[in-house]
């Protein structure tokens, strides 16, 4: 599924590292799914942490109706200063952590 934040997320490094690992297709798919879920939770946590309770409810409603909609950026940008930068930072940090974990796992399995 495509979410509103995909335009600011860079996951190629993690995907590339996953492809280089000696794992079955099923294991790679499972790790990719875990990566997607972790990213989704991190991004939503970052966005929600800056919203009022009322705005959280409105955001969740908008997200459930159209998770890839550009209107979500409009909503967040009206309520949170530099939200794209904040979401990009959280996602970059998570992707770097996952990348380092995969590199370490690759060393251990050799």
Phi, psi of 96 (to 5 degrees): -65, -40
State the pLDDT at residue 106.
77
> What's the pLDDT tens digit per position in 11-70?
888 988 888 888 899 999 999 899 999 999 999 999 999 999 999 999 999 999 999 999
> What's the pLDDT tens digit per position in 64-91?
999 999 999 999 999 999 999 999 999 9
3-class SS shares of the chain: helix, strand, coil, % to 5: 80, 0, 20
pLDDT band at residue 109 under the 50/70/90 scheme: low
Query: Which residues have a Cβ under 8 Å from the Cβ of 21 and sit 6 or more positions away?
Result: 28, 102, 105, 106, 109
Question: Residue 10's Cα: distance from chain center in Å?
Answer: 9
pLDDT band at residue 110 under the 50/70/90 scheme: low
């Amino acid at each position: 599924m495509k979410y509103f934040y995909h335009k600011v997320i860079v996951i190629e490094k993690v995907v590339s590292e996953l492809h280089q690992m000696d794992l079955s297709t099923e294991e790679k798919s499972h790790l990719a799914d875990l990566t997607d879920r972790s990213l989704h939770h991190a991004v939503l946590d970052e966005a929600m942490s800056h919203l009022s309770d009322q705005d959280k409810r409105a955001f969740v409603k908008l997200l459930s109706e159209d998770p890839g909609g550009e209107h979500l950026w409009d909503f967040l940008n009206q309520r949170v200063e530099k939200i794209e930068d904040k979401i990009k930072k959280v996602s970059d940090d998570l992707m770097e952590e996952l990348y380092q974990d995969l590199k370490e796992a690759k060393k251990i399995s050799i």
